[in-house]
């Protein structure tokens, strides 16, 4: 009887050249900044999306740049002990969450390692021996804010698909608060009736007193909302930024401000005044700067309703404002900056270095841009006092970090 031999699959790396569409067996070593899994095979470095550290997978190559391949998981050969079954039916298609495949403990560990990696490679500083990360009290149904994309042709409403601008139609999102989910359900019902055909984006934000929607479906949706926090009341609406994980805001505030007090403080990228209000209770004079006019309107309102008259708020791009006004502010005892994910723009960083505040608190939602800016501050003579992480964004690779720095001349 003739024996049939299973044909041997030749490795796509046998020729020494990797092409798009090739399938390669790799073992994922760890999660790197950006959330991908890192692996190596025959001289190539692989970045595998939606992987878990310890996975052995067949990775499909989506893009090749020199000796670097960007890939997706085509098949899980041996799953990592850190891997779990993602509960969301849109996982892998929706671009909103990229850590649902990990246990929560593995998520926290990966985020700490991402911070370490960025400090070593980008800031070129050895990270602290221990980095404490504060877990989120809720790992699902924590998100108080959402931005939904609308495809008026297909009548889809949801988030962008992974690495694309196609809309993933999402009926239920497991990371948003129940009241935000109710807003999504109302929007979907309204869109099904043919309203808002040309609207391409909707925003929702929850406060202690309900949800604000933009554009609104009813008069109630257009109302400002409030959040009571650490003895302050903050008002905002869907048109301006407010931190999304309210359960972690008090410890975040406490870490960012610590024992800061003195004569002058500067709050950059101040938003609606999350840090401005407590700073005004600790310092004789506070100056706040924010580029979003909707946010500064609320910052003025929040200060006024709190009866705080020793703080001024300016609507301007931070870098431009510092270039024009920094000299008259000196000396500054304490500077706090909480920039968007892109970090401080070069002009803002130059203004901070020219001003040379005695102490700096840097609140960041992106370890890579934080490390980039820290390198400039280290090179200018600032030293690291402390670093602490907060898991403001469970089920994603994003992490909030608070860093305290002191100018070398005043280091005690």
Is 357 in contact with 349 (CB distance < 8 Å)? Answer: no
CA distances from 387 to 64, 112, 115, 169, 382 (A): 36, 11, 10, 39, 14
In three-state form (DSSP H/G/I as H, E/B as E, the rest C), the secondary structure along 24-73 is EEEECCEECCCCCEEEEECCEEEEEECCCCCCEEEEEEEEEECCEEEEEE
> How crowded is residue 58: how many other Cβ atoms within 10 Å of its Cβ?
14
- Told to judge if 365 belongs to the known catalytic residues of this protein, a careful annotator would answer yes
What's the rounded Cα separation, in Å, for the pair 142 and 94?
A: 18
Which residue in 88, 94, 173, 365 is the catalytic one? Answer: 365
Q: Which of 141, 165, 133 is nearest to 151 (CA)?
A: 165
339 contacts: CB under 8 Å, gap ≥ 6: 268, 269, 318, 348, 364, 369
Is 298 in contact with 324 (CB distance < 8 Å)? Answer: no
**206 token code pair:** 């929850």
What's the rounded Cα separation, in Å, for the pair 98 and 30?
A: 14
Q: What is the DSSP letter of 130?
A: -
H-helix or E-strand spanning residue 337: strand 334-337
**Three-state SS for 113?**
helix
Ramachandran class of 323: left when φ > 0, alpha when ψ lies in -120 to 50, beta otherwise = alpha
Q: Buried b / exposed e across 303-313, counting CB within 10 Å, b at 16+?
A: beebebeebeb
Instruction: State the sign of the Cα–Cα–Cα–Cα dihedral 261, 234, 401, 128.
Output: positive
- Residues serving a catalytic function are 365
């Amino acid at each position: 009887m003739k024996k049939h031999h299973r044909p041997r699959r030749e490795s796509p790396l046998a020729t020494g050249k990797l092409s798009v569409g090739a399938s390669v067996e790799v073992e994922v070593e760890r999660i790197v900044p950006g959330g991908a899994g890192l692996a190596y095979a025959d001289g190539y470095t692989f970045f595998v999306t939606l992987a878990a550290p310890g996975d052995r997978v067949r990775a499909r190559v989506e893009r090749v740049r020199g000796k670097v391949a960007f890939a997706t998981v085509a098949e899980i050969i041996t799953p990592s002990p850190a891997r779990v079954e993602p509960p969301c039916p849109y996982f892998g298609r929706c671009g909103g969450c990229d850590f649902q495949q990990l246990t929560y403990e593995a998520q926290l560990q990966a985020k700490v390692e991402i911070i370490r990696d960025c400090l070593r490679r980008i800031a070129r500083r050895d990270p602290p021996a221990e980095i404490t990360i504060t877990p989120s009290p809720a790992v699902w149904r924590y998100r108080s804010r959402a931005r939904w994309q609308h495809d008026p042709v297909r009548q889809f409403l949801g988030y962008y698909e992974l690495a694309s601008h196609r809309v993933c139609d999402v009926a239920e999102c497991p990371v948003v608060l129940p009241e935000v989910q109710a807003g999504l359900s109302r929007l979907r019902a309204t869109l099904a009736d043919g309203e808002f055909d040309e609207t391409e984006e909707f925003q929702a934000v929850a406060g202690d007193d309900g949800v604000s929607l933009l554009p609104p479906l009813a008069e109630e949706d257009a109302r400002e909302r409030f959040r009571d926090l650490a003895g302050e009341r903050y008002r905002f609406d869907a048109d301006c930024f407010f931190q999304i994980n309210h359960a972690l805001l008090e410890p975040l505030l406490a870490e960012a401000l610590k024992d800061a007090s003195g004569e002058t403080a500067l709050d950059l990228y101040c938003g609606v005044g999350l840090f401005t209000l407590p700073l005004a209770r600790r310092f004789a004079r506070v100056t706040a700067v924010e580029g979003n006019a909707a946010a500064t309107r609320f910052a003025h309102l929040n200060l006024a309703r709190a009866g705080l008259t020793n703080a001024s708020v300016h609507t301007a791009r931070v870098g431009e404002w510092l270039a024009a006004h920094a000299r008259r502010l000196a000396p500054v005892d304490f500077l706090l900056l909480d920039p968007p994910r892109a970090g401080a723009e070069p002009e803002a960083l130059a203004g901070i270095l020219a001003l040379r505040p005695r102490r700096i608190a840097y609140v960041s939602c992106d370890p890579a841009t934080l490390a980039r800016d820290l390198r400039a501050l280290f090179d200018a003579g600032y030293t690291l006092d402390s670093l602490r992480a907060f898991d403001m964004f469970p089920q994603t690779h994003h992490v909030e970090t608070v860093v305290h720095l002191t100018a070398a001349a005043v280091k005690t």
